[in-house]
Structure 1
């Protein structure tokens, strides 16, 4: 009886969703064998989906004209991307679009506010696979000005009862809230001071200096957390197997994207194997004050401790990759 009911419901829903409607309609479906009814909202979605279909055709036509053998090559030989990209899930910062990249160029991990957290097994596995199996040459952590996750970490936490979905987001951005609470970067300190005493703090304007600074500091935090990660330790890297051969040098960069003009900027925090020259990224650099902000207000001892920790992390990350 229950199986029949399920078939009946699916058939009814399919007929409703397939019916051409131009305004939202709410219909009630009476489920056989149940007292309560199920309400289904039917919307006209064919026009929206047509955008994706049209885009896919344009993608295929463009590849056929510019690189007709690429897809077959990737299918036959597998992937060997030179880059791993850690970015934000924001629909405005798709890495394939921002870098005009073809298939096979970027191995990607995206999440809210481009974070790399030690407890996130997804990010850890992506990093490990990218470096230890695929042999990427560059790992790029890229944030973007106007990031909603960073903005939410500045605003007051919701006062009303938080549902499961909102709670997950609030938990995820807590590390960024901690950066905002503790950072000694002048722009962030100024914004924090301005917000002090307010009971209802709204998300900042996109050009607020403290907001932009926090976007940059969040990239640096993920960059540093990635360096300390055990997902790509020396054992994993030197033990890499596969068709791509022995592991090569890996360089880790921190960039930021400007929504307003589409420009990618370098935060100047790139690192690589000890003794190796770090390739210069042919992108604009952020203001020098922003690059140096991490150490600008630290004591000499604190700067030394940070440098030593970074060196230890790099040695663990790159292991025997230095010849």
Structure 2
């Protein structure tokens, strides 16, 4: 057990050596700060590392992760990351990234109690309820599972647009796009769900906040 833990430090030293060999100024530049264009809201699944999947370097993507890449309006951690990335770092793209084979989505499709996480998974069950007619019409369990993964990403994108953080950014004239993506663990490829939203026009009126333009 200790051996596997210590292995992480050996790997770290090798990584530093490789970085310094290929770019002697890498860590000096990185220490000056970050200016990422992207916020990645992903699943905690260990098979979906944001930088490696996208071929980007440290400092390129701001990341927050939770079970099944959820945007829950009572999750202060996620909201704090969202606020900081938009209002301090000035990211231009917020991406909800789900993945096929998601254990959280799979568990939400069943009735077995898992534990504390059941309260979190109930949010995914709500997604199923919203799209119950479509999902129940899919006979193949695997295809229904994949479709719920996609629909869950779609609903989390919509949840982002319902936040005052995103709406105020748009009202203030910030260039900000919200995207939905799926990562296929079988192929390693990212799939754009073509549900990008860049302004308030696609937000239902009941979710729109009044904006005091006199404060701008």
Interval of TM-score (by shorter of Structure 1 and Structure 2): 0.7 to 0.9
Does structure 1 residue 209 correspond to structure 2 residue 135? no
Instruction: Name the structure, 1 or 2, with higher relative contact order (CA <8 Å, separation 6+).
Output: 2
- Is the CA contact (8 Å cut-off) linking 2:167 and 2:209 kept in structure 1? no
Listed one character per residue, the Cα deviations across residues 235-286 of structure 1 (whole Å, up to 9, x for unaligned) are: 7984xxxxxxxx8411111100001111100000012247xxxxxxxxxxxx
Equivalent residue for 1:83, pick from 31, 38, 42: 38
Structure with larger Rg? 1
CA shift, 1:234, in A, is 2.1
Which segments of 5 or more consecutive residues in structure 1 lack a partner in the other structure?
1-44, 195-203, 239-246, 275-305
Listed one character per residue, the Cα deviations across residues 114-141 of structure 1 (whole Å, up to 9, x for unaligned) are: 0001111111111010000000111111
Does structure 1 residue 51 correspond to structure 2 residue 7? yes
Does structure 1 residue 177 correspond to structure 2 residue 125? yes
Please give the alpha-carbon distance, in whole angstroms, between the structure 1 residues aligned to 2:169 and 2:91.
17
Mapping of 1:1-323 within 5 angstroms? 45-76=1-32, 78-158=33-113, 166-167=115-116, 169-184=117-132, 186=134, 188-190=135-137, 208-234=142-168, 238=172, 248-273=174-199, 307=202, 309=204, 313=208
Please give the alpha-carbon distance, in whole angstroms, between the structure 1 residues aligned to 2:176 and 2:65.
20
Is the alpha carbon distance of 1:251 and 1:236 closer, same or farther for their aligned partners in structure 2, counting shifts above 3 Å?
closer
- Is the CA contact (8 Å cut-off) linking 1:228 and 1:313 kept in structure 2? yes
Report the RMSD for the aligned CA atoms in angstroms: 2.9
255-264 vs 227-236, greater mean Cα deviation: 227-236
CA shift, 1:65, in A, is 3.0
- TM-score for the superposition, normalised by structure 1: 0.59
Please give the alpha-carbon distance, in whole angstroms, between the structure 1 residues aligned to 2:209 and 2:197.
8
Please give the alpha-carbon distance, in whole angstroms, between the structure 1 residues aligned to 2:13 and 2:136.
49
- TM-score for the superposition, normalised by structure 2: 0.86
Please give the alpha-carbon distance, in whole angstroms, between the structure 1 residues aligned to 2:129 and 2:166.
30
